[in-house]
Copies of this chain bind each other. A is one copy, B any other.
């Protein structure tokens, strides 16, 4: 992924390319495998890997703008912190309780043979499979 794509992510999220935002966008999107993170873990990575200072509010604001623009998704994980995901396609997860890590599962890797019909007047929006791991 080139720098022009980073700028595109920012522009399409309605964000000016400031120093902090470019660093965040590069960190999130300039990689070839999915990245799952919390705001806290992202902050740690950013302060470790860049020479830039980040107010927590800037990280929250930028991540929310990316999410709103569809560049990030959110994953439900037990616990108090919100998990975000750079994989915005429909997919499933392994969750390692020991390490608190998420691992992507492509939809093609899970086949559901039988599923109940939605309650009266409702439709199925999407199906999420969450596989808890143990040692």
Interface residues of A (CB under 8 A from B): 74, 76-78, 94, 96-97, 103, 105, 109-116, 118-119, 121-135
Contacts and interface: CB of A to CB of B under 8 A. Distances in A.
A107 B119 CA distance: 17
Given A94-B118, A112-B111, A134 B130 contact: no
Among A96, A122, A128: residue with most chain B CB under 10 A: A122
Chain A facing B: main interface SS: strand
A77 B82 CA distance: 11
A122 B133 contact: yes
A43 to B, nearest CB: 19
Given A112-B111, A113-B112, A115-B110, A132 B126 contact: yes
A109 B115 CA distance: 6
Contact of A119 (B103, B121, B132): B103
A123 B133 contact: yes
Given A121-B135, A122-B133, A122-B135, A116 B110 contact: yes
B114 A76 contact: no
8 A-B pairs with the lowest CB-CB distances in the bound complex, closest first? A111-B114, A125-B132, A125-B134, A113-B113, A111-B113, A76-B76, A122-B133, A109-B116
